[in-house]
Structure 1
């Protein structure tokens, strides 16, 4: 954890202090590992036969409140997904030949042990006879993510392993599993990933959601590199996110890890907000774990361990909007830790493009204001984006932003 929120910015980008900075960074990562924090220090993506799921990588324990879809500690599987393996997915109630040595998959499908229902969510209990599992394509300390089908529909299957030798971690992980299930079952919106069901076995918990064939927004933007991003598409996708988040906030939830990795693209190019494993009901915010999230998108009050509200999601949305407009990774000329230092101590934010539509620039800068009270609510953001969409359609119908900043700068 960051014990002192007043970071020494002299170490950031100062080659004279490289040794001191390296030592601090090593100590920082060591503290992350020692304290089992939920903080994601950077992100990566994996893809699998036209589908993808985003993840975050750090030294934290997977027994945190992060969902496996955006799981700290996740690493890509060394063996890529093979279409030939995928052909063997369609076996009711069985795992593929490729998973015969996969203990988690075998534990889920083992008929020796009964499937437990979910307390208060019996109707969401998965019928394992209808679940067809394909190969795993991501894994973490306590779980894996698989692609498969359920009732013939492509799905993402998250398996979490019950820690055998740590009753405390097992209890915490089960509580977080129940929390994610309850939230996914409760939240029903076109721009939120659809929950299909879940189940419990003695040594494994399973969550099944719809599978987004288009991958994550971050993957989409990375593949475009510096090519022009259609403005109409950028605003349309931003509106999807804003509408989904307005729905979440209306129900007094906070996502806490809103970022382009956790925004999935459906076949119709609409956006689905995913990874509610770190979300919390907005009550007694001072008791919330402040480290949850990913630095490049994280509000300064979360970095500094200060009390926070739903406005942390608004801050993150401002960064996401900037990504959609520029196609670039936020603070890509900094490490994630350097970005955190700069955001907190110098008020650094991504540079708004000079040719950016004024209303979009205004939304960004208001969303990532250091003062949470200045940040608009998502209902207002939706109205502003709808006005921008109308302006685009009537006055700049063919406008496209060209990402010409090969080394994007940041501005205080």
Structure 2
């Protein structure tokens, strides 16, 4: 516990990005160990989705939130870190509605990963290579992001009809993944499918994910502008 506490303090103190929770300070006195970060009054993304009672988030908001996470993770990976527990519980909503990544207690520098602790993280979001105790890379975070993106699009808990252990067994032994909704834009469905591919080499880096999501965001904005234009053109014109 002491080592994990020191690890998180050192890591948070060195992470400075708009989509990473801001470190303020740490206290380690007898019986009182705490890490102080900026306040995220919106709570976690999982709490936000639970309040919506499995109703999907408006697509524009979901894509914007996913972009926040992808940008934050691109920064983390550029520094050579692996989060290892990326999930909706560890994504915080701030006052300006931006998403910030938190909980770096199990994060590690990407080195020779054979010696890393297996099964670090949470089964519903965990990459199959971690579940199987195989060597892993930063691509385990990409897998977890694919599950988070599915959560944002559907508003649901992944594998909600299974226990966590059942979900892990299904992911590894049956290649089961959450079902992508029919109404999901194909571009977003492709991002999810690539992110949670069983082969880590197929999963795109976060720098590419940011570009793909930015393209989806621009496409959505263009569709809204076109819809408004058509609406204006359909209004009756009066001539004085």
TM-score when normalising by structure 1: 0.54
| Aligned equivalent of 2:164 | 336
1:81-135 deviations in whole A, cap 9, x for unaligned? xxxxxxxxxxxxxxxxxxxxxxxxxxxxxxxxxxxxxxxxxxxxxxxxxxxxxxx
Q: Distance in 2 between matches of 1:227 and 1:311?
A: 29
| Aligned equivalent of 2:16 | 188
Label 1:330 to 1:340 Cα distance change in 2 as closer, same or farther (>3 A). same
Q: How far 1:228 moved relative to its partner?
A: 4.3
Q: Does 1:267 align with 2:95?
A: yes
Q: Does 1:224 align with 2:55?
A: no
Structure 1 regions of 5+ residues with no counterpart? 1-172, 400-412
| Aligned equivalent of 2:77 | 249
| Aligned equivalent of 1:353 | 181
Q: How far 1:311 moved relative to its partner?
A: 0.2
Q: Does 1:315 align with 2:143?
A: yes
Label 1:232 to 1:283 Cα distance change in 2 as closer, same or farther (>3 A). same
TM-score when normalising by structure 2: 0.91
As a proportion of its length, which structure holds more helix?
Answer: 2
| Aligned equivalent of 1:239 | 67
As a proportion of its length, which structure holds more strand?
Answer: 1
Which protein is bigger by CA-based radius of gyration? 1
Q: For the aligned residues, what is the CA RMSD?
A: 1.5
1:18-38 deviations in whole A, cap 9, x for unaligned? xxxxxxxxxxxxxxxxxxxxx
Label 1:390 to 1:208 Cα distance change in 2 as closer, same or farther (>3 A). same
Alignment of 1:343-382 (within 5 A): 343-382=171-210
| Aligned equivalent of 2:231 | none
Is contact 2:83–2:141 with CA below 8 Å preserved after alignment?
Answer: yes
Q: How far 1:332 moved relative to its partner?
A: 0.6
1:209-236 deviations in whole A, cap 9, x for unaligned? 1121001101111111243421000000
1:214-262 deviations in whole A, cap 9, x for unaligned? 0110111111124342100000000000000000000000000000010
Q: How many residues align?
A: 227
Q: Does 1:325 align with 2:153?
A: yes
Q: Distance in 1 between matches of 2:138 and 2:124?
A: 18
Equivalent residue for 1:293, pick from 105, 110, 121: 121
